[in-house]
Amino acid sequence: MRIVNAPPPNYIAISDRFKLAKLKDFNPVFAYGDIIYNPTGDPISEDLMIHEEVHSRQQMEIGVEEWWNLYLESDSFRLEQEIEAYSAQYQYICQHGNREMRRKELDRLASNLASGLYGSIIKKKDALELIQA
């Protein structure tokens, strides 16, 4: 996937929906088709690349704009899509990290999924279970 250090084409809609300006300690990246948009230009880890590649594939299956419309409007769709992406990300971490790293990263991933970044659509304890499933 190509990386572009800029906001995605639908950044205003994303920012409005999730109040990105109010979120602290997050530097989100966004898959939009086969491009990863990285507004901050911060380095992207290998496990995050896996996560975004899942979203790219998901988008290609139903169409990029349709995917984003559903993602922004439907909590259940967003959760389903994120569980798949976070699970793939965690599997990558399990293959490349030690036990302590796996434990820390699972906690971080579950905290992220349960955060306002995604509209607080799941409790952390539930996210922990679903990411590992």
- What was the pLDDT predicted at 116? 83
pTM: predicted TM-score of the whole model, two decimal places: 0.94
For the chain, what is the total number of helices (H) and then of strands (E)?
6, 3
- What was the pLDDT predicted at 117? 85
Q: Which amino acid is at 110?
A: A
- What was the pLDDT predicted at 27? 81
Q: pLDDT tens string for the chain (133 positions)?
A: 999 999 999 999 999 998 887 767 778 999 999 999 999 999 999 999 999 999 999 999 999 999 999 999 999 999 999 999 999 999 999 999 999 999 999 999 999 999 988 989 999 999 999 999 8
Phi-psi region of 122 (alpha: psi -120 to 50; beta: other; left: phi over 0): beta
Nearest alpha-carbon partner for 94 in 85, 110, 105, 83: 105
Residues 6+ apart with CB under 8 A from 42: 27
**Position of tokens 């349709």?**
66
